[in-house]
Amino acid sequence: MTERGEVLNILVIEDHIGDYILIEDYLGEEHLQINLTRATTFQEAKGKLVNTHNYKVILLDLSLPDVENNETLVKNMVSLSKNIPIIVLTGFSNKEFGVRTLSLGISDYLLKDELSAPQLAKSIYYSIERKNIDFKLNESERKYKALFDFSPYPMWVLDKHTLDFLKVNDAAIKLYGYSTNEFLCMNVRDLWVAGIREEIQRTWKENYHEKFNTSVKHLKKDGSIIHVEILSNPIDFDGREARVTQIKDITGQMEAEQALKASEKRFKALVQDASDLIMIMDFSGALSYVSPSSSQLMGISDSDMIKHNFFHYIHKNDVESVKEYLLKLKDNKRIQIPSYRIKSSDNKWRYIETIVTNLNDDPSINGLVANSRDITEFIKQEKKLIHSLKRYDIVAKATSDTITDYDVVNDKMYYNEGIESVFGYSKNDIENTGVWWNERLHPEDRERVRSFSEDVRNAKSRNVQIEYRFRCADGSYKYVLDRSYLITDEKTNTIRIIGAMQDITEIQNYIQTIEDHNSRLKDIAWTQSHVVRAPLARIMGLVDLIQSYPDVDEQSQLLEHINTSAKELDDIIRNITRKTEDVTLNPR
């Protein structure tokens, strides 16, 4: 604002000296501190305006000697004056044009014939102040436009009634993927996700004339959905009722919140609802947190358990051991405490094992985090297994069989002492692989054993047996009867084979002897039933011939044939006797 005591630098463009003096007198009456500069022509005024100056207002006479066209004069002066307000001084003859100058950028016009000191002073101060206000408005509009155009947040202007886009900034174009022209052909409803349109429409109607903010889902050009927070204000935009809206993309925030909720849900499932017992304590055993699973594991609520020291629940014979393990956390980040006993609500002892992590350096924890699980049933099974293994070891030592344990998945084969006592292999000779065992099968038996094993696995059998020959440490082979039991997983795939290799070499040899003995007996029987019959049949035929024809001339010759057949029969009988004696004396 311009104060009346302020020095006013005024450029008066007036060629008539009388009018200039009158202006000077009027201003002197209203404003004691003025500094008038006179120009009598347009060119003179132009020279003064081009050079450095600080004029607050220009008084312009339309009747200048070097400009014939008043409109040209006004336009040139407005261009030269820039932001300096111009007041036109005109006569009655130019009154109509004087009014029109207002549309050309003139601040005010005054009729010389009606001019007075108060009127002139008022016009000057009014023009200066209005120019200042216009400048501030323009500056404010410029800043607002810059804030809108260059805002990092997406912004747009919508028609208040139709919700058509009227203007968008670069951030909105970048976020949504639409060009400016595409936006200006769209309605904001095009961004609304199906299923929530009625809710958004209701929000717009309820806040038709008011400022409001809400969170919605918007659809981008590529079809992806984003979560946004909108702030909308009613404004006047180029004479239209509109709303300016600022958009904040909160998709990342929403995803982070959802991830946090999922994490909290997992934490609840892992800590609060899990079977493991989670505790936070200090080195003295003072508890600061106990998970609700204490009720399930110990039969003691977390609120009751936290009232006592952790060592209060531990078996007296295990306390010192647990304390020693906890002290290791001063030099280690994490330790595992082997099984120890804690007392449950029914005064029974349960075995647990614990992993403890030192989180004293974490301000949100500030303690030792102990994760314990109940291994009572495991300990019981372990004791049963140890007892069973002891019995197995006794049985394995008592039997002459070679006990095998084959881990199919890892191709590991284990043997008891029988591998040495039966086959002569020392521990250093043995390689605990299936390949080592397979290489010691008799070459003639390998394919048969492999094929049999494949058939057994495909048939999903459990108890199987097969005979084969197995090479001893000295290179000889022994006959083996292998009885095995197959252990499978939940998919019935064989994962382990427990077997017993029984040496049946003596049995096989005895069977072979019997088979040889039977073979020779069969040979003797065949000789008796077939070879003896030929000479005997001839003798019987010749005897019958002699009896039937006693006067035959060749009787002596017939007797000779009988004698020959008898000798042949005798040789056969002697051979049978020899074979019989050989079977008796040499059973093989």
Give me the DSSP letters along 328-355: GGGT-SEEEEEEEEEE-TTS-EEEEEEE
Q: Binning pLDDT at 50, 70 and 90, where does residue 235 land?
A: confident
| SS3 of residue 110 by DSSP | strand
Question: What's residue 306's pLDDT?
Answer: 93
DSSP string, 475-543: S-EEEEEEEEEEEE-TT--EEEEEEEEEE-HHHHHHHHHHHHHHHHHHHHHHIIIIITHHHHHHHHHHH
Q: What is the number of alpha carbons within 13 Å of residue 573 lying toward its C-beta? A: 8
Write the CATH number for 337.
3.30.450.20
In 3D space, the residue among 277, 271, 383 whose CA is nearest the CA of residue 337 turns out to be 277
What is the maximum span of the chain, computed from C-alpha positions, in angstroms?
Answer: 208
Two tokens at 316?
């007296």
**Residue 390 forms part of a structural domain:** no
**Residue 392 forms part of a structural domain:** no
Model pLDDT for residues 139-173, shown as the tens digit of each residue? 766 777 777 888 889 999 999 999 999 999 999 99
> Do 484 and 536 lie in a common domain?
no
> Do 37 and 134 lie in a common domain?
yes
Identify residue 482 by its one-letter amino acid code.
D
> Do 134 and 35 lie in a common domain?
yes
Residue 53 in this model has a pLDDT that exceeds 90:
no
> Do 117 and 17 lie in a common domain?
yes
Question: What's residue 92's pLDDT?
Answer: 59
With 0-12 / 13-18 / 19 or more C-beta atoms within 10 angstroms meaning exposed / middle / buried, residue 558 is middle
Inter-residue contact 469 to 478 (CB < 8 Å) = yes
Domain count for the chain, please give it.
5
Question: What's residue 519's pLDDT?
Answer: 72
Q: Binning pLDDT at 50, 70 and 90, where does residue 109 land?
A: confident
**Residue 87 forms part of a structural domain:** yes
Question: What's residue 1's pLDDT?
Answer: 47
Write the CATH number for 32.
3.40.50.2300
Last residue of a domain, one of 119, 141, 163: 141
> Do 133 and 59 lie in a common domain?
yes
**Residue 186 forms part of a structural domain:** yes
Residue 547 in this model has a pLDDT that exceeds 70:
no
**Residue 383 forms part of a structural domain:** no
Model pLDDT for residues 467-522, shown as the tens digit of each residue? 999 999 999 999 999 998 888 888 888 888 888 898 888 887 777 777 776 776 67
> Do 181 and 237 lie in a common domain?
yes
Helix then strand then coil, % of the chain, to nearest 5:
50, 25, 25
**Residue 385 forms part of a structural domain:** no
What is the mean pLDDT of the segment spanning 217-243?
91
Q: For 25-29, 473-477, 553-557, which range has the lowest pLDDT when averaged over its residues? A: 553-557
Last residue of a domain, one of 81, 109, 141: 141
> Do 540 and 472 lie in a common domain?
no
Question: What's residue 492's pLDDT?
Answer: 83
Each residue of 150-163: b (16+ CB within 10 Å) or e?
A: eeebbbbbbbbeeb
Model pLDDT for residues 288-347, shown as the tens digit of each residue? 999 888 888 889 998 999 999 999 999 999 999 999 999 999 899 999 998 999 999 999
Last residue of a domain, one of 373, 407, 426: 373
> Do 26 and 78 lie in a common domain?
yes
Distance separating alpha carbons of residues 471 and 493, to the nearest angstrom: 29
Domain extent for 156: 151-249
For a pLDDT cut of 90, what percent of the chain falls above it? 35
> Do 318 and 441 lie in a common domain?
no
> Do 114 and 180 lie in a common domain?
no
Mean residue pLDDT of the chain comes to: 84
Distance separating alpha carbons of residues 437 and 416, to the nearest angstrom: 14
**Residue 386 forms part of a structural domain:** no
> Do 59 and 95 lie in a common domain?
yes
**Residue 510 forms part of a structural domain:** no
Q: What is the pTM of this model?
A: 0.38
| SS3 of residue 370 by DSSP | strand
Residue 430 in this model has a pLDDT that exceeds 70:
yes
What is the mean pLDDT of the segment spanning 370-382?
87
Question: What's residue 485's pLDDT?
Answer: 87
> Do 75 and 171 lie in a common domain?
no
